[in-house]
Amino acid sequence: MSLPEVNCPYDIPEPYCWDSSFEVFYANLDEEHKGLFQGVFALTDKSKDINTSLSTLQTKVVDHFTDEEAMMEKAGYANVTEHKKIHADFVAILSPLSGSDVNDKVIKYAKEWLVEHIKTTDFKYKTKL
């Protein structure tokens, strides 16, 4: 499996947890973003079943994108088409994975993608929804 290179100019939190530098100031979206960090972090937890952790993350990602896209559409947000395409490209990589595909490269990709996406792409809708 080949993963795209993420050009992430931001620090990756270690341990991998949401912090206030990721705030978009919409309470439901900030809660969902926290859940996505937890979901990626869970992939690194060897005490958990990887198939369960991965499918939990896959569901959380799709649910979050659905909510975020609905808010952007409701607000008539200008960049919604471009933003939805970025979501769809990530889902196209994440959703076909099964637990046995999860390795350090996949975890690094997911960590970097989420950090880069929130700070570069999600931040553009701050105050606009």
- In the annotated binding site for Fe cation, the residues are 33, 64, 68, 83, 87, 117, 122
Query: How many residues in the chain?
Result: 129
Q: Using the rule CB under 5 A, is 26 a contact of Fe ion?
A: no
Q: Using the rule CB under 5 A, is 61 a contact of Fe ion?
A: no
User: Which single residue is written with the structure tokens 């992430």?
Assistant: 8
- Cβ distance 26 to 68 under 8 Å? no
**Which one, 54 or 122, has the nearer CB to Fe ion?**
122
Cα(74)–Cα(50) distance, integer angstroms: 36
**Which one, 57 or 122, has the nearer CB to Fe ion?**
122
Stretch of 7-15, 71-79, 100-108, 117-125 contacting Fe ion, by CB under 5 A: 117-125
**Which one, 68 or 109, has the nearer CB to Fe ion?**
68
Q: Distances in Å between the alpha carbon of 12 and those of 15, 19, 88, 115? A: 9, 11, 23, 7
Stretch of 13-21, 46-54, 66-74, 103-111 contacting Fe ion, by CB under 5 A: 66-74
Q: For residue 38, which phi and psi values (nearest 5 degrees)?
A: -60, -40
- Contacting positions for Fe ion (CB under 5 A): 68, 122
